[in-house]
Structure 1
Amino acid sequence: MAVVAIVLATACAVVYGTADFFGGLATRRSRVLAVVALTQITGLVFVLPLLPVLSGTPSAGALAWGVAAGLCGGLGVILFYRALAGGVMSVVAPTTATTSATLPVLAGLAMGERPEAAALCGVVLALAAVVLVSRSPGAPAGRATLSPIMQALASGLGFGAFFILLKQVPGDAGLWPLAGARLASAIGAGALALTTGRTLRPGKGALPAIIAAGILDMLANVLYLLAVQRGLLAVVAVLASLYPASTLLLARYVLGERLSALQTAGVGLALGAVALIASA
């Protein structure tokens, strides 16, 4: 697989993880739905000036794939937070992460992709890394109920579908599909807020983190789209799914949070997976 695709996918994971770090900071001061809606709007504002820079043809098909991806991704975010609110984090987070990473791998293989043996080994290592880095050492003890687990699975399917649908975008579409995706998710989040009577007003001091999260999340989407246009879905998507590793490292060195032994092992596996895939 092209080295450029591997570099772009790895950079995508780093940027996704950084966006989640800022999103996590924002949710400490604002309601989750407000953070989701405002980050989607921020991302849309960020990508609009880039549309003429990376020239593309805004065909109906390309926009349709983007809108479908945006709806799946937006639904995945909402279901993920609902699952976290009602379940055990140490069960919900790995379930979502593993599902979202595994689904594109299966889809890629079903579509006829055949990564080299070393790359496949790297994919397996990456899947294991996703599980480990998503474990939460501070999660409360107890048994997770069925509803949050089902929501976590559905959330992972939504994120995985987002990756798969963007792979279907024509190569000459530029960034137009991402604009369609972000418009769809922003409208969806805003409509949900209106129908449930939730405020979209950010909490005091949360706006800078929300803006940073929205811009970085869209930048990660751009990197992913460029990567998946140049490489295999089964490899690019699983590399992008390593984003929890960078979130953990930022929490460790910026906020002083401690990593568990499993999470540290997961970060090591993630680095090994990238190296193994790059050597293929």
Structure 2
Amino acid sequence: MMVTLLALGAALAYGVADFLGGAVARRTSALQALAWCVPVGLAVVLVVALVDGGGFTWTSLAWGFTAGLAGGVGLITFYRALARGPMSVVAPVSALAAAVLPVAVGTLRGERLDATVLAGVLLCLVAIGLVSMENGPGGTDPTSGTDTPRATGDGTGTTSGRARLLDNGPLMAGISGACFGAFFVLLKAAGGGGLWPLVAARAGNLVVIAAALIILLRLRGRRTGPRVSGRTLVGLAFLSGTLDAAANALYFVAAHEGLLSLAAVLTSLYPAITVLLARIAYSERLRAVQRLGLAVAAAGVALVTIG
């Protein structure tokens, strides 16, 4: 029961953090939003780790930093995928890949779920895909609400066939999902060391985001979007980063208190929270498939809980 509550708490925190981060990105850009949210999350987990007072090993820090590198790449490729393909394809592919990979790894490591819990996990996997399905025109950046220019491979206005093959929505979504799944698996592998592996993970996130910003500034010679400014926008960025850090901590504890497969699948239900918040804040209508997904998620969580 404790693992279920922790993982669902992580899903709730991730869902709210993504919603708030998306609100910031709509007014700036994905990388500008991440450039604020990630350092805030690092500061939060650093303070909590210091207060917790637990020791650490270099091995656990190395696992955590590697997890952060994977998570940082996942964030960037996910937003890139949203710009290159329809959200109705991108979001389910990414979310499902993020959930399935830890389940596969947990199974290979000998984790066994009883029939009731296994049925609940399978329902949750189905629900992740259903609630993530939205209408979104291809080539539109959902974080900004404007058409995203197609990046060219050679700077001449044309893109080679190979580059075009690699840079498409579904493929990039699969890569992002694999990165998120690797993040879950690697944090589990980090083992003990208090919350210090999370500090290392956040540092890994920051390294990837900083590298992406530097590359864009040097290669493209332009800004990465409007700056995050104003009390409201800065406040949303701070809150998003704080909640994302809290979600990391809740998942980290859940994964080490119980099974990797169970913790990762329940945590990956976060798109349901984001969809509900969008419905409340922006009066966005839920499609029939999304309402079905929420019902399936509820059934899956119920089975996991009673199991």
* Same fold (TM > 0.5): yes
Aligned to 2:24: 26
TM-score, with length taken from structure 2 = 0.86
Indicate yes or no: 2:174 matched with 1:153: yes
**Count of matched residue pairs:** 274
Aligned to 1:139: 136
Q: Deviations over 1:75-94 (max 9, x none)?
A: 00100000110111111111
Q: Deviations over 1:124-160 (max 9, x none)?
A: 0000000000000x32379xx8522111110000000
Cα contact 1:126–1:242 (8 A) shared by 2: yes
SS for the counterpart of 2:52 is coil
User: Counterpart of 1:81 in structure 2: which amino acid?
Assistant: Y
User: Counterpart of 1:18 in structure 2: which amino acid?
Assistant: V
Unaligned runs of 5+ residues in structure 1 are: none
Cα contact 2:87–2:138 (8 A) shared by 1: no
User: Counterpart of 1:159 in structure 2: which amino acid?
Assistant: F
**1:203 shift after superposition:** 4.9
Measure, in 2, the Cα distance between the counterparts of 1:95 and 1:43: 26
Measure, in 1, the Cα distance between the counterparts of 2:60 and 2:257: 17
Indicate yes or no: 2:288 matched with 1:273: no
Among candidates 228, 234, 244, match of residue 202 of structure 1: 228
Measure, in 2, the Cα distance between the counterparts of 1:266 and 1:209: 28
**1:19 shift after superposition:** 0.4
Aligned to 2:257: 230
Aligned residue runs from structure 1 range 79-158, under 5 A: 79-136=77-134, 138-140=135-137, 147-158=168-179
Measure, in 2, the Cα distance between the counterparts of 1:52 and 1:5: 24
TM-score, with length taken from structure 1 = 0.94
Among candidates 5, 8, 14, match of residue 7 of structure 1: 5
Taking only the aligned residue pairs, the percentage that are identical comes to 45
Measure, in 1, the Cα distance between the counterparts of 2:42 and 2:187: 16
Cα contact 1:30–1:206 (8 A) shared by 2: no
User: Counterpart of 1:39 in structure 2: which amino acid?
Assistant: C
Cα contact 1:30–1:203 (8 A) shared by 2: no
**1:72 shift after superposition:** 0.4
Aligned to 1:178: 198
Measure, in 2, the Cα distance between the counterparts of 1:246 and 1:156: 18
Q: Which shows bigger deviation, 214-223 or 52-61?
A: 52-61
User: Counterpart of 1:8 in structure 2: which amino acid?
Assistant: L
Cα contact 2:84–2:138 (8 A) shared by 1: no
Q: Deviations over 1:93-146 (max 9, x none)?
A: 11101111111111100111001111110110000000000000x32379xx85
Indicate yes or no: 2:248 matched with 1:221: yes
Indicate yes or no: 2:189 matched with 1:168: yes
RMSD between aligned alpha carbons?
1.6
Distance 1:55 1:273, change over 3 A: farther
Measure, in 2, the Cα distance between the counterparts of 1:139 and 1:187: 31
User: Counterpart of 1:193 in structure 2: which amino acid?
Assistant: L
**1:199 shift after superposition:** 4.4
Aligned residue runs from structure 1 range 236-251, under 5 A: 236-251=263-278
SS for the counterpart of 1:202 is coil
Cα contact 2:12–2:273 (8 A) shared by 1: yes
Task: Tell which structure's C-alpha radius of gyration is larger.
Answer: 2
Unaligned runs of 5+ residues in structure 2 are: 140-163, 218-222
User: Counterpart of 2:28 in structure 1: which amino acid?
Assistant: S
Aligned to 2:285: 258
